[in-house]
Structure 1
Amino acid sequence: MVDVLENKRAATRFRILVEIAERQPAVSQGEIAEAVGVTSQAVSEYIRDLVDEGLVEKEGRSRYRVTKEGVDWVFQSATDMRRFVDHVTDDVLGSVQEDAAIAEADLAEGQTVSLSLSEGLLHAAPGDDGGATGVTTTSAEAGSVVGVTGFEGVIDLEPGHVSVLQVPPVRSGAATDTADIASACENVSIVTAAGVEAVAALREAGVEPTTYFAAGEVAADAASRGMDAVVVATQDTVGRVTDALRDASVGYDVTQ
């Protein structure tokens, strides 16, 4: 179990650190106490411990700031909670939900099927191959959509990787190396663009982007489904792209 969910003290530390980060550097312990649901004295004790542990630094009377170590702790705790929530929604609650899959053969209602991901889509094949399984809620012909419920097991999935390529904004007057872009996009199914210059650079390289809306979010979703992706982004928009990738906890690299 994630510490901040299993341990009340850890959960309170997490919330107080978040409240300090949101209000810093002028921190009202009374406001934090009201937001967290503890006494002002308890907040004072927590903050004193956080300062002693190097997660918060005191800059003066009622002035505090979360240190890099504190930010790292909050970020790691938030990531752990996100993974736990994903486990609950996908693995636990998902077992009682119905989902759609592509039938890999003719299937009858009530049939046990093996589940896999291919090109980012759920597929159902007859029988139990020892991995993730489900039970069909409809009948379906091969290649059509079938309903599946009663999920058990975990689908064997290697997360995809996202390569972020930067291109200069038009105002810089700098040239774009389209050969590198074309090479990076070879054998990659998902290519997104962030910014008009990125769309133009891809097309000049002979690559039509999958989308140029929500480029980071689309690439992150593809990677979470086991697909590699490329994002071409202007230097002005690359920050929004990497924010979306970090939020989704997918692996990525940025090159210029």
Structure 2
Amino acid sequence: MADVLEDKRTATRFRILAEIADRQPAVSQGEIADAVGVTSQAVSEYTRGLVEDGLVEKEGRSRYRVTKEGVDWLLQSATDVRRFADHVTDDILGNVGEDAAIARTDIEAGTTVSLSLEDGLLHATPNDEGPATGIATTDAESGEDVGVTEFEGIIDLEPGRVTVYQVPPVRSGGSRTVDGGSLAAACEDAPVLAATGVEAVVALRSAGIEPDTTFAPGEVAAEAAERGLNVVIVATADSVGRVTDALRDVGVAYEVANLD
């Protein structure tokens, strides 16, 4: 379980710090008490503890501001909560819920199907021979979406690789310093191609390549890699840290490389 949810006091501390961050610098302890469901006295005691621990600084009467250490703690705690929520949604509820797959052939409701991932999407075949199986809940023709429940087994899946190529920022020459041939070769046959930073997007377009996405490349790459897809990210050097942080947060392996 996420550390912040292990006991009521830590969970309340997390919620109060989040409310302070949302309302700073003018903080009404009464409003926070109503939002969190505790007394104003409890908010005062928690706030005093947050100040003592260096997570909040007091700027005056009813004026507080979350410190850098407080922001870091909030971010880490929020990440832990998100991971736990994903575990509940994907691993626990997913086992008793219903998901959709693409039917490889015609399927009748009630049929046992084997499940596999192809191009990052779940596919169903009417047999019980795969390492992962389920029961079709709807009729479907080949190529249609079919409901599947009562999942058993584990889909045999090798995580995809993520490679991040750096493009210099404009102050260091930007896209003009990138060899289009090398860039095209690096991106060739990449199932998923993401870019971040103007210089990276321009370099790709100059090479005649349009990225699949220019938004949240780290998060996109992490999800794609977890579904077995290889990903190439072309990033302006200034943006590489944000990309790799997103990959590290979910434990996805990656390589940062330079274009030849």
TM bracket, shorter-chain basis = 0.7 to 0.9
Q: Take 2:28 and 2:255, find their aligned partners in 1: how far apart are those partners?
A: 40
The structure-2 alpha-carbon separation of the partners of 1:161 and 1:29, relative to structure 1 and needing over 3 Å to count, comes to: farther
Find the residue that maps to 1:209 and give its secondary structure. Answer: coil
Aligned equivalent of 2:227:
225
Partner of 2:122: 122
Structure 1 position 177, deviation (Å): 1.9
User: Structure 2 unaligned runs (5+)?
Assistant: none
Corresponding residue number in structure 2 for 1:190: 192
- In the alignment, which residue of structure 2 is the partner of 1:82? 82
Rounded Cα–Cα distance in structure 1 between residues aligned with 2:55 and 2:155: 38
Following superposition, the deviation at residue 119 of structure 1 comes to: 2.0
* Identity in percent: 62
**Cα separation, 1, equivalents of 2:207 and 2:14:** 47
User: What do the CA deviations read for 1:9-51 (whole angstroms, capped 9, x no partner)?
Assistant: 2221111111222334444333322332222210111122223
Specify the SS of the correspondent of 1:22: helix
Q: Paired residue for 1:110?
A: 110
Matched, 1:11 2:11: yes
CA RMSD between the two structures = 3.9
Gaps in structure 1 of 5+ consecutive residues: none
Indicate conservation of the 8 Å contact 2:204/2:211, yes or no. Answer: no
8 Å Cα contact 1:194/1:232 also seen in 2: yes
1:128-154 alpha-carbon deviations (Å, 9 max, x no partner): 54x432112356677765442222345
Letter in 1 for 2:178: D
Normalised to the residue count of structure 1, the TM-score between the two structures is 0.73
Q: Quick check: 1-10 or 137-146, which moved more? A: 137-146
1:51 aligns with 2:51: yes
The 2-side partners of 1:240 and 1:211 are apart by 20
Say if 1:88 and 1:25 are closer, same or farther in 2 by CA, change over 3 A: same
- TM-score between the two structures when normalised by the length of structure 2: 0.72
Aligned counterparts of 1:99 and 1:188: Cα–Cα separation in 2: 26
Range moving further from structure 2, 226-235 or 137-146: 137-146
Question: Size of the alignment, in residue pairs?
Answer: 252
Q: What SS does the corresponding residue of 2:228 show, helix, strand or coil?
A: coil
